[in-house]
Amino acid sequence: MVHAAPDDLVKPLGVERSRRPAVSLPAGVGKLAARATAALALGCTATVVGYVMLFGDPLGGDPYVVAPIVPREAPFNGDGKAGDGPRGTNTAAELEQQAGVAVVRPGEKGPPGAVVITVPQQGPIKLAPAPDRRLVERTRYGLLPRVGPDGARAAAVYARPVEQLPGGAKPNGKIAIVVGGLGIGQSVTTEAIIKLLPAVTLAFAPYGTDLDGAVAKAREQGHEVLLQLPMQPFDYPDNDPGPHTLTVEAKPAENIDRLHRVMTRFTGYVGAINFMGAKFTSNDAALQPILKELGDRGLYFLDDGSSPRSLAQSTAQNVKATAARADAIVDAAQRADAIDKELEKLEALARERGLAIGVASALPLSIERIARWSKGLEAKGLLLVPASAAIRDGRG
């Protein structure tokens, strides 16, 4: 007879298991069960081996045990002994010595024949959230930009940081590109946000149904943003920039009120750029209070360069505001070859003077040519920068 007894190894600790009567099996049945168990085990093994041979080990190459990396209680030197630094820290040299890996930093040369792996300094650039409470005040029209109590200015807080060329190389020149007319057409706005490199600055007209959403998407992609101000052209009102246009006939207080209406349409912009406005920008008396108001509220002004009679830069200096002028409208002629030629002129100007600013409209052909052109700038040693960087670099 075969007797099955309880297994003490699986008995709960500290708990006395109740005794069950032994189960007696006939000898023939016991031998048959043992043979069946052995056959079943052999069959399972054969199945597993066959599966691995046909399909490979599904866990092959994967870790079977994951061990957490815990900071050391104290720094260690190359000899494995505790160092003298703060708890939980190691110097870069100590870590390199322990790992047996030499780290080549920007500006340094590695040993001859060494394999160099470049580790990115940072991920995609994220702009500061908008609106920043310090930089807005609530008015009857909405949130209006202002200088923060701590002196913070939208022109700096909302600006996109300047990237570097690979390896920290010094650029042969810097180029800023501003693409305007966004926010009105949803499809072209989305196309510009997605296709253009993040360093391209986007300018939004104060019209459209979902400006806050469109501007938020642009800034999420890393694009610095400008506000387009509707200004009076010489053939106004036959050529009308839109509601709340700033005109030379309006009194300064009326123009300031119109300016405030436009400025509250969305937040997160670093400055303003004219939309049309050849007549308005040529009138110092009309332009002066507008530029002063922008400067007092922590913003800069960029003249799109469309009018040779513009007084924006000289007027800004008189009221201690910051302004700059674009060097070229790159898509004045809507032909691929003409746009490419203007972009080449910007490159030459950037190499000659160190910096060039170009503007364009959000037209499908312009977006396509600028997107294609900008991807090849690094190979030419040229750096694409946001408009705010062009202002800081002394174009005002």
Provide the pLDDT for residue 11.
Answer: 45
Flag the least confident range among 42-51, 161-170, 354-363.
42-51
pLDDT, residue 392, reads 80
Between 33 and 393, the more confident residue is: 393
Nearest to 316 by CA among 307, 306, 324, 308: 324
The percentage of the chain sitting over the pLDDT mark of 70, rounded to a whole number, equals 68
User: Are the CB atoms for 350 and 159 separated by under 8 Å?
Assistant: no
Fold of 134-395: TIM Barrel (3.20.20)
Q: CA 276, CA 248: separation in Å to the nearest integer?
A: 14
* 98 pLDDT tier (thresholds 50, 70, 90): low
CA-nearest of 171, 188, 106 to 378 is 171
Specify which of 114-118, 124-128, 132-136 reaches the highest per-range mean pLDDT. 132-136
- Integer Cα distance of 225 and 127 in angstroms: 10
Predicted local distance difference test score (pLDDT) of residue 391:
84
When the pLDDT of each residue in the chain is averaged and rounded to a whole number, the result is 81
Closest by alpha carbon to 310, among 233, 257, 395? 233
CB 331 within 8 A of CB 366: yes
- List helix spans (H) across the chain: 27-55, 92-99, 154-157, 186-195, 211-220, 252-263, 278-281, 284-296, 312-318, 336-353, 364-374, 387-390
**The most confident of 54-63, 67-76, 120-129, 247-256, by mean pLDDT:** 247-256
Residue 59: what pLDDT?
Answer: 46
Q: Is 340 exposed, middle or buried (0-12, 13-18, 19+ CB in 10 A)?
A: middle
Which tokens is 45 given?
Answer: 């093994």
pLDDT at 79 over 60: no
Q: What is the pLDDT of residue 60?
A: 47
Token pair recorded at residue 323: 């302004």
CB under 8 Å to 104, separation ≥6 — which residues?
Answer: 110, 114, 116
| Sign of the Cα pseudo-torsion (383, 193, 396, 391, in order) | negative
Quick check: 383 and 377 in contact, CB under 8 A? yes
Whole-number pLDDT of residue 295: 97
Q: Give per-residue pLDDT as tens, 18-41.
A: 444 444 444 443 443 445 445 445
User: Which residues are CB-neighbours of 179 under 8 A, at least 6 positions away?
Assistant: 192, 196, 200, 201, 202, 203, 359, 360, 361, 362, 366, 367, 370
pLDDT of residue 85: 41
Per-residue pLDDT at 308 exceeds 70: yes
Whole-number pLDDT of residue 52? 44
What is the C-alpha separation between 23 and 44, in angstroms, rounded?
A: 28
Closest to 226 (Cα-Cα) out of 299, 124, 161: 299
Q: Once rounded to an integer, what is the mean pLDDT over residues 250-269?
A: 98
Residue 325's φ and ψ, nearest 5 degrees, are -125, 135
Model confidence pLDDT, tens digit, residues 192-232: 999 999 999 999 999 988 999 999 999 999 999 999 999 99
Note the pLDDT tens digit of each residue in 100-122.
666 554 445 556 666 555 544 45
Q: Between 100 and 188, name the one with better pLDDT.
A: 188
Q: Round to whole Å and give the CA distance between 298 and 123.
A: 29
Number of residues written out for the chain: 396
Q: What are the distances in angstroms from CA 230 to CA 247, 261, 303?
A: 9, 11, 12
Residue type, 354: G
Q: Is the pLDDT of residue 335 over 80?
A: yes
The fraction of the chain above a pLDDT of 90, given in percent, is 66
Reported confidence tier of residue 175, pLDDT bands at 50, 70, 90: very high
Q: What is the pLDDT of residues 152-166, one digit of tens each?
A: 999 999 999 999 999
What is the structure's pLDDT at 78? 38
For residues 330 and 346, is the Cβ–Cβ distance under 8 A? yes
Distance CA 46, CA 139 (A): 79
